[in-house]
Structure 1
Amino acid sequence: MEVMRIAISGTQRGKLISAGYTSLSSLSSISPSLLARDLNISEVEALEILKAASHSSRKDNAGGSHAVLNGAQNAWEMLHGDSCTRITTSSADVDDILGGGISCKEVTEIGGVPGIGKTQFGIQLAINVQIPVDFGGLGGKAIYVDACLDTEGSFIVERALQIAEGCIDVMGEDDYFRQRDIRAVREKLLPEVFLANIFYFRICSYTELIAMINHLDEWVSKHKDVKVVVIDSLTFYFRQDFEDMALRTRILGEMALKLMKLAHKFNLAVVILNQAATKYTEGSCQLTLALGDSWSHASTNRIILYWKGDERCAYVDKSPSLPSASAPYSITAKGIRNSSKNCKRLKIL
């Protein structure tokens, strides 16, 4: 975290982090009076903090402007570089509109109305990322950040066990598995192994969430087999705890930038779950996701889950590479699957 390098007191650092100032760039263009207001300190103290940040920034840039230009790629290299790896959702129809599944190196936001299956998608992806390479998976591990306000959180380990068993059942039906005795793979295909490969973090405030995201880079660098980070969800604390919308926008922007950098640096998928909201445009209402228009640009892909009659559907609302499209899906006892007439509104646990 860049603010940790500034020569100021620990109390001042804590105030900066709580107010969303976690990088030197976030302090580069702010006035002492505005910083003083956000941190509830005097303008004199704010000015001293900005001077210390400016000094730290100059030290970082002492190597000269050439450092900024390192690592350039041409467009041909980008097109034919590392192929985009994806995590299946376990619904072939949903995978189809997503170009094969949830993409790594990108931030994908999944949101919708209560009971539509957002958390089910999050748990499913935390399980599916572990599918061995022999079965077309990534053989990775998952981080699940539970930021739900509910007393027990949104992640239900018994449900994760059901989905893991369902995933193993599907792999057990694979011809490659049935025709060969793959002992090394069989030893990995145990529900307890799948659950052990999900790193669970319970978050109880927006300051904890900020600190968590700020330290993810360091944590993932020590656990490089992590291939998906699920955050369930950003919405609760940023809908409840803020009256200063400018402050909220700045904090969310910083967090979004860090998550995008994390996804690209470690070639992993970041999946953010969000709640639905209603947007009024020209006299009509439209289903959208919470946290406003500025937040809508924070993710690479945005998927809205909604009801169409009695059927659940996923809609690609935003993507730089995918056309807008929708696909039905079902939530079964074994997880997300293609839509089925007898699986509508099934109550899980």
Structure 2
Amino acid sequence: MEISNLPISPSHRGKLLAAGYTTLASLSSISPVQLAQELNIALQEAYDILKVTSESRNFESCNEGLGEGASLFSHSRAKTAWDMLSEERSLRHITTGSQKFDAILGGGIHCSEVTEIGGAPGIGKTQLGIQLAVNVQIPVDYGGLGGKAVYIDTEGSFMVERAYQIAEACISNTLDKFNFQGMDMRACQEKMQLNNFLSNIFYFRICSYTEQIAVINYLEKFLEEQKNVKIIIIDSITFHFRQDFDDLALRTRVLSGISLKLMKLAKKYCLSVSVLLFNQVTTKFTEGSFQLTLALGDSWSHACTNRIILYWNGDERHAYIDKSPSLPSAAAPFSVTCEGIRDALPQYKRARTT
């Protein structure tokens, strides 16, 4: 059972979630005194919360030990390695808009996985997020997923005018490509309408880490109500947790709960939903010098399935696969153009600033 379903008052549930307690297990080793201090509540209230938690945990344990039923449950969740390979081969990908970028990803951003993309300001993270929110909507007949997008904006960087511009270019390029291949252009036009592209991006503006936690906890219900969501984008996962947290241990615990929730969503909607998290950079002192690294520390670096780092190489943007269980480390150049993310070309090089 999760904390959001615990039979306690809504205010206590909110305080627990804000403090990073998302499951019953996360409360298993805390004392009433410590809980009262962390939540700023009376000691008796802390005792009552832990009592309810203990009773609910015992109830779950009893249910797990119901013999045949529990056995059937465990076998129904088992998969063979052949099943897993077949699923992986049938996975669809969301194109980034750059063929070289897609190539190092094995075809694009993977569904059923949590992918983290980090880089310095101005490297193109938000541009890539908007591009993916548009590209996921390309109809299946024309190489896309025909899905919808959830865009969770914590920094206020999402630009609807830019989404309009990228969607317009996506429609134009798709029509040109498939008209050239001799497919029915009129049918493609009917499926790809500009107003539909914008209507299928569900936008959440987040102004605090508590709002961020609440929205992530709400996502599962939202996905059940809004069918055919194929990508969840959080831009960025980092912002409010760098601004509002001084307690690093608490921050680690909260982020751990968030990553588990997002992984659960990706796996629950296996083969259909991709979770994309953008991260910021920070400096780390190593080997006698300061170096740029992705924010949120070493613990967070293991929270996602794939980790991609965007960086400048002179005037050219590059994407590098830093961590993946299925992809080799590789880098590819890409550009941010007026049409969106594209392969790197000389005329799209970054303008020098003085």
Q: Tell me the distance in 2 between the aligned counterparts of 1:287 and 1:316.
A: 16
SS of residue in 2 equivalent to 1:80: helix
Judged with a 3 Å threshold, the aligned counterparts in structure 2 of structure 1 residues 177 and 31 are, in CA distance, closer, same or farther, namely farther
SS of residue in 2 equivalent to 1:119: helix
Q: Tell me the distance in 2 between the aligned counterparts of 1:346 and 1:92.
A: 23
Moved more, 291-300 or 281-290: 281-290
SS of residue in 2 equivalent to 1:297: coil
SS of residue in 2 equivalent to 1:174: helix
* Alpha-carbon shift at residue 56 of structure 1 (Å): 1.7
Question: 1:331·1:346 contact (CA, 8 Å) conserved in 2?
Answer: no
Q: Tell me the distance in 2 between the aligned counterparts of 1:176 and 1:190.
A: 16
Is residue 343 from structure 1 mapped to residue 354 from structure 2 by the alignment? no
* Alpha-carbon shift at residue 278 of structure 1 (Å): 2.0
Which amino acid is 1:155 matched to? F
Is residue 297 from structure 1 mapped to residue 292 from structure 2 by the alignment? no
Residue 95 of structure 1: which of 92, 98, 102 is its match?
102
* Alpha-carbon shift at residue 262 of structure 1 (Å): 0.6
Q: Name the structure 1 match of 2:79.
A: 73
Deviations 1:283-313 (CA, angstroms, capped at 9, x unpaired): 1333321111111111111111111001111
Q: Name the structure 2 match of 1:307.
A: 312
SS of residue in 2 equivalent to 1:313: strand
SS of residue in 1 equivalent to 2:121: coil
Q: Tell me the distance in 2 between the aligned counterparts of 1:259 and 1:64.
A: 24
Which amino acid is 2:333 matched to? P
Where does 1:246-261 land on structure 2 (aligned, <5 Å)?
A: 246-261=249-264
Deviations 1:133-192 (CA, angstroms, capped at 9, x unpaired): 1111100000000111xxxx1110000011111111211122456623354431222222
Is residue 157 from structure 1 mapped to residue 160 from structure 2 by the alignment? yes
Q: Tell me the distance in 1 between the aligned counterparts of 2:339 and 2:4.
A: 45
Q: Tell me the distance in 2 between the aligned counterparts of 1:139 and 1:99.
A: 20
Moved more, 302-311 or 61-70: 61-70
Q: Tell me the distance in 1 between the aligned counterparts of 2:319 and 2:9.
A: 48
Residue 195 of structure 2: which of 172, 177, 192 is its match?
192
Q: Name the structure 1 match of 2:174.
A: 171
Where does 1:206-285 land on structure 2 (aligned, <5 Å)?
A: 206-266=209-269, 267-285=272-290
Residue 137 of structure 2: which of 130, 141, 144 is its match?
130
* Alpha-carbon shift at residue 29 of structure 1 (Å): 2.7
Question: 1:203·1:209 contact (CA, 8 Å) conserved in 2?
Answer: yes
* Alpha-carbon shift at residue 280 of structure 1 (Å): 2.1
Structure 1 stretches of 4+ with a deviation exceeding 4 A read none
Question: 1:329·1:339 contact (CA, 8 Å) conserved in 2?
Answer: yes
How many residues end up aligned between the 2 structures? 343
Residue 113 of structure 1: which of 94, 115, 120 is its match?
120
Q: Name the structure 2 match of 1:4.
A: 4
Percent of residue pairs bearing the same amino acid type:
60
Unpaired segments ≥5 residues, structure 2: none
Judged with a 3 Å threshold, the aligned counterparts in structure 2 of structure 1 residues 207 and 325 are, in CA distance, closer, same or farther, namely same
SS of residue in 2 equivalent to 1:287: strand
Question: 1:306·1:314 contact (CA, 8 Å) conserved in 2?
Answer: yes
* Alpha-carbon shift at residue 197 of structure 1 (Å): 0.7
Q: Tell me the distance in 1 between the aligned counterparts of 2:275 and 2:239.
A: 18
Q: Tell me the distance in 2 between the aligned counterparts of 1:189 and 1:224.
A: 18
Q: CA RMSD in A?
A: 1.8
Which amino acid is 2:19 matched to? A
Q: Name the structure 2 match of 1:144.
A: 151
Which amino acid is 1:23 matched to? T
Unpaired segments ≥5 residues, structure 1: none
Give TM-score scaled by structure 2 length.
Answer: 0.92
SS of residue in 1 equivalent to 2:30: coil
Which amino acid is 1:78 matched to? M
Judged with a 3 Å threshold, the aligned counterparts in structure 2 of structure 1 residues 177 and 22 are, in CA distance, closer, same or farther, namely farther
Q: Name the structure 1 match of 2:25.
A: 25
Judged with a 3 Å threshold, the aligned counterparts in structure 2 of structure 1 residues 263 and 64 are, in CA distance, closer, same or farther, namely closer
